[in-house]
Chain A
Amino acid sequence: MNAPLTSPLTSSLEGPGFPSRRRFLVGGLAAGATTVLAACSVTGVAAPKGSSGKGTGVVNVLFMQQAGYSTKDIDAMTAGFVKQNPDIKIVPAFVAYEALHDKTVTAAAAGTYDVVLIDVIWPAEFGSKSIVADVTSRYPASWQQSMLGGALLTAEYDHKFYGVPWGMDTKFFYYNEALLTKAHVDPASLETWTGVLDAARALKRTGTVQYPLAWSWSQAEAIMCDYTQLVGAFGGSFLDASGKLAINQGGAVEALDWMRKTIVDGLSNPASTTFLEQDVEKTMNNGQAAMGLNWTYYLGSSNTPANSKVVGQIHVAQTPAGPTGKRPGVNGAMALSVSAGSKNQDAAWKYIEWLTAEAQVDPFAMDTLPVWRSSFSTPSVTANAPATFAAAAKQLDDMIVRPQVVNYNAISKIIQVELQNALLGRKTSQKALDDAVASAAPLMAS
C-alpha cells in the first residue's frame, strides 16, 4: 500500500487559504532582508543614544571581581549611597578582569550598563569608539590638582576625560622574609633586580624553595604589566620619539632576555607562563615562592589566615631597580565611566562621584591606594597600610604606562604571544619582539 507523501495538515497548508511552505519561507526571508536594509547602518546603530535621564531610577554597574576593591568593599560603599539616594537603585554585576573588556564591548550596543569600570589602557579605544561618554564638562576643576597626576591619566585621552579614576594601583615587589632568612639573604639586597637574582640563587642553592620567583606571565594582560615594569627598569620604552612601537630595541629586548634567563636558570617557576596574579598569590601564600610582583591587594591576602600559610611573613617593597638605576611601577589604575549608551547618565554620574570620593575610598586603602593626594598625608589613612603607603610614596612618583592607543587591546595580544614565544624558547627575544613590532605596525597606524 502506498501511503500519501503529504499529511492532511501539510495538504491543508498548501491549500488556497495558506501560502505554500516555499512562499512562507521566501516571505520570511524578504521580511528579514527588508528589516536589515531598513536599519540605520550595518550595525543597526544610528548614533549614540545615551541621555541624561531624570537622575533617579536604576543604575546598572559593571565591576571587576579580582584585584582592587573587593565586592565587600563595594557593597559597603554602595550601602551608604543608597541610604542617601533612596530614589536610585544600584544593580552591580561583577566579572573577572579577563572578561571585563569584552563584556563592556558586547553590552555597549544594548546599553546594558550605565557605569563601567575601565582599565588605564582602554580610554583611547572606548572613548574613540563611543562606548564610554566624555565627562570632561562634569569634571570639577579642583580635581586636576587634588588627584594624583598618574591617576588622572587613567581616564584621559585626546585631552578629554572618559571617566573618574578609582583606585591607584601598581605592581609592588613582595618577598617572604622567613624564607629569605632561612637562605641567609638580607632583604636589603632586593633593591635591584641583580640583587633579586642573587637572592633567588641562594634560595635555590640552599633548597629553601625550588623556584624562588613566581610571575603572572600567562597569555593575558598580566604578562604585559610585568613586562612593562621590567622594560622601565631596563631603560627601554614602548614607543620611540615618533610614536612607533619600539620594543625591539635596547632595554625592552634586554628585559625579555632577562625574563627568559630566569626560567632557564630555574629561578622562575616555569609554570609562570600559565599564571595570572591570583596564581602568584596562591603560590606565595603556600610558601612555594619567595618573591614576586603583585598588585596592592596582595599584602592583605597574604595576611589572611583563611587563604595563606605565610601570615606575617610577606613584606612589600618598591619594585627593584634595573641596570639603568630606574625602577618605575606600571600604571595599573582603573576608572569608573558612564556608558555612552546609558539613558540614566545623571544618576550614573552621581553614583560615580560618591564611589570615588575621598571619604569612600580612604577606608579601603589596604586593598587599593586612593587617587587623592591628601590621602597620602592623612595619618588615619596611611595607618591602614603603612608598609604599602611607604613603598607607594616612592613608586607612584615614577610610573610607566602602556601605550595609550586606540588599538591597544589588539596590539597587546600580539605582544603577549610573542613574549610567550620567547619565554618558551620558541624564538629569541630579538626575533619575537621584531615579529611583534612588524605585526602591530598596521594597528599602530590606524
Chain B
Amino acid sequence: MTLVQQDRTGRTQDAPARPGRLRRPASQGRLAALLLLPAAVVVFGIILYPIARTILISFFDVNSAVATTTPFAGVRNYTEIFTSADFWASMGRTVYFTVASTTLELALGLGLALLMDQKLRMRWLFRAIVVLPWALPTVVNGAMWRGVLNAQYGSLNALLTQLHLITAYHSWLGTPTSALNMLVLADVWKTTPLVAFFLLTGLQSIPREIYESARVDGAGSLRAFWSITAPLLIPSVSVVLVLRTIDAFKVFDLVYVLTGGGPANGTQTIAYYTYVQAFSDQRFGFGSALANVIVVCILLLCAVYLRALRRNEMSLM
C-alpha cells in the first residue's frame, strides 16, 4: 500500500505506509464516522423515520392527529385509493398540469435562453430581470396571481379591457378548466426562468468553433439550430425535464393559495387531495397511503425518464 505524501518542498512523492508514524485507516474511519454522524442523524430523523412512519400508518385507520386507538386496516386504504373516483380525477388533473406546464416551460425557456445567449446591450440587466419570477416564493407567487386574476378588481381584466381584447371582465378562476389553465400559467410564469438558465448553461457549453465551421460550410441559422444546438442541448433538456416533471407532479402550494382546489374540485391535484384527506378530513391512514402512492408514481416517472435518457448517447444521465 502506498500513500501520496508531500515533502518539505511541497512536491509529492510515493512513500510506503509506516504504521506507528502515520494515522491508521481505522482511526480515520472513526473520525469519518464522527463527522458523518450529524448528517446521518438528520437523514434518519427527518427523511427515513417519517417515511417509515408514513408507510406504517398507511396500514391503519388513523382518524385523529392524536389518535390512541388505531385499528389495523391491512391494505384497505390502498384498495380504496384505486377505486376512488376522486383519486383518478385528481391524478388526471395532475398529469394535465404536469404535461402542460413542463411543455410550456421548456418551449418558452428555450426561447429565453437563446435570447439571453445573444450579445445584447445590458445583457446582465436582462438576465437579472428574467430571474426575478423565480426568486419569488411560490406562496407569494400564488397570492400575486390571485390578485391579478381576480374577476372584480384583477389587473389582467383591466389590462385586457384597456387593450380592447375583451369587452367585459372575465372570471378567470370561475370554471374548473379555466382555473386549471390559470394554475399552469402561474407556474409557467414562475418557473420558466429556471428552465431558461439551465438551458443557457447548456448553450454556453457548446463550442463556438462548431458554429463557425458550420457557417463556413454554408449552414444557415435554422440549420445550425437543428443540427448543432438541439442535439448538443439534449443533456440540459434531460435534466430540466426530470426536475420539472417531478416538481410539477408534486404541485401543492400554488393550488392551496390560488384556488384552494376549486371551483368544484377542478384544480384539486393529487398532492392537494392528499393534504385534504390527511389534515382537513383527519384520515391520516388514507392520506399516508396516498402519499406513498405519490412517491411510487414519482419513482416510476424517474425510472422511465432515466431509462429513456440513458439510451441517448448525448444524455448526461
Contacts and interface: CB of A to CB of B under 8 A. Distances in A.
Interface in B265-317: 265, 276, 279-284
B280 A47 contact: no
Interface stretch (A32-40, A51-59, A178-186, A326-334): A32-40
A218 B260 contact: yes
A98 interface: yes
Contacts of A341: 66
Given A274-B171, A341-B66, A219 B281 contact: no
B44 A18 contact: no
A98 B260 contact: yes
Given A9-B28, A105-B282, A274-B174, A420 B263 contact: yes
A24 B40 CA distance: 9
Interface residues of B, number: 52
A28 B265 CA distance: 41
A219 B64 contact: no
Interface string B162-202: 00000001010111100000000000000000000000000
Given A43-B65, A219-B265, A420-B263, A13 B32 contact: yes
B281 A43 contact: no
Contact of B26 (A16, A288, A424): A16
A142 interface: no
Contacts of B283: 410
Interface string B58-69: 001011111111
A41 B68 contact: yes
B49 interface: yes
Contacts of B49: 32, 35-36
B40 A410 contact: no
Interface of A: 9, 11-13, 15-18, 24, 28-29, 31-33, 35-36, 40-48, 98, 101-102, 105-106, 108-109, 125, 129-131, 218-220, 269-271, 273-274, 279, 282-283, 286, 288, 340-341, 407, 409-410, 413, 416-417, 420-421, 424, 426
17 contacts: A12-B25, A40-B68, A41-B69, A42-B53, A42-B57, A43-B70, A45-B66, A108-B66, A129-B65, A130-B66, A218-B262, A271-B169, A271-B171, A274-B150, A274-B263, A279-B152, A420-B262
Given A42-B53, A410-B283, 15 more contacts: A15-B29, A17-B25, A18-B26, A18-B32, A36-B49, A41-B67, A41-B69, A43-B64, A101-B280, A125-B282, A219-B263, A271-B151, A271-B169, A282-B153, A420-B264
